[in-house]
Chains A and B, each alone.
Chain A
């Protein structure tokens, strides 16, 4: 085979290989966006917190249970019922942290989660403002 033909063939092969590798690189280098999953977690966190604050547990309104936990240090109903309610509302493997504070001091905490999507909602009861915070990992 003539030298020129061989060299042209070599160049063509190199270009074709580069094209193929380039296509595979483009295919596997694309990053998956986390925007949609974060938006869903945001919705879950907000909805769960707002839903919790409206319910009655053992015929007691939630804000009364919070006040009872703060003033009489009786958090037994919250400790017993809330974990069940929250785990039923979320997927089993979802980790969360629910905190109630008064004047920036947390007096009730449930769950363990260090970072994630958070929702806050204040509640007023008997002249006091309680901050409720739900964090979903």
Chain B
């Protein structure tokens, strides 16, 4: 083999190696972008699932037997207080803060309702919120819906708002 042929062979081998190297780089870049796309897809699916479950909770929380009125679509405030005092927890409450805020009659004080305030003559205007479930976190997504509230002590109805903060 002449020196010229040997050099030519080496050159061609180097060219092949470079080609393979470039192909390899392109493949790695493609896999990287596909991986990024898959990760963002999974995150999006997770967020959609959380949004769906929160919306389902929003629609069903007024019907929870622990707090709902017997035959109507409303929340019984005495049952609500009893439920809060028992510190009951449902798995669907996980990663959420659930508050029931009194809207009408409009509260005069921005306080959390307790059994002591409930038994006061000024109830329901002496407190604003019932906290059904508390969860720590930041940047919550907030969804809410109006709900009828029933006050058994004077057999009257008010309007409240169920507020769900999802973390």
Identify which of A9, A36, A43 contacts B23 (C-beta below 8 A).
A9
Q: Contacting chain B: which of A48-56, A63-71, A98-106, A124-132?
A: A48-56
Q: Contacting chain A: which of B81-89, B119-127, B129-137, B156-164?
A: B156-164
A54 near B145 with CB under 8 A, answer: no
A16 near B29 with CB under 8 A, answer: yes
Tell me the residues in window 23-48 of chain A with beta carbons closer than 8 Å to chain B beta carbons: 23-24, 26-27, 36, 39-40, 43-44, 47-48
Find the residue from B27, B34, B41, B157 having the highest chain A CB count within 10 A.
B157
For A9, list chain B residues within 8 Å (CB): 19, 22-23
B30 near A88 with CB under 8 A, answer: no
Q: B107-128, CB under 8 A of A: which get 1 and which 0?
A: 0000000000000000000000
B157 near A39 with CB under 8 A, answer: no
B78 on interface, CB distance cutoff 8 Å? no
For A24, list chain B residues within 8 Å (CB): 33, 37
A114 on interface, CB distance cutoff 8 Å? no
What is the number of residues of chain A that contact chain B, defined by CB distance less than 8 Å? Answer: 33
For B23, list chain A residues within 8 Å (CB): 9, 12
A26 near B156 with CB under 8 A, answer: no
For B147, list chain A residues within 8 Å (CB): 47, 51
A13 on interface, CB distance cutoff 8 Å? yes
A54: nearest chain-B partner, CB-CB = B157
B9 on interface, CB distance cutoff 8 Å? no
A5 near B19 with CB under 8 A, answer: yes
A5: nearest chain-B partner, CB-CB = B19
For B68, list chain A residues within 8 Å (CB): none
B55 near A27 with CB under 8 A, answer: no
A-B contacts, 30 listed (Cβ < 8 Å): A5-B16, A9-B22, A16-B26, A20-B29, A23-B37, A27-B40, A36-B55, A39-B59, A40-B55, A40-B58, A43-B55, A43-B58, A47-B62, A47-B148, A48-B146, A48-B159, A50-B73, A51-B149, A51-B160, A54-B72, A54-B74, A55-B104, A56-B157, A85-B103, A85-B104, A88-B103, A88-B104, A88-B106, A90-B146, A91-B144
Q: Which 7 A-B pairs have the closest CB atoms?
A: A51-B148, A54-B157, A89-B146, A16-B26, A48-B146, A51-B159, A88-B103
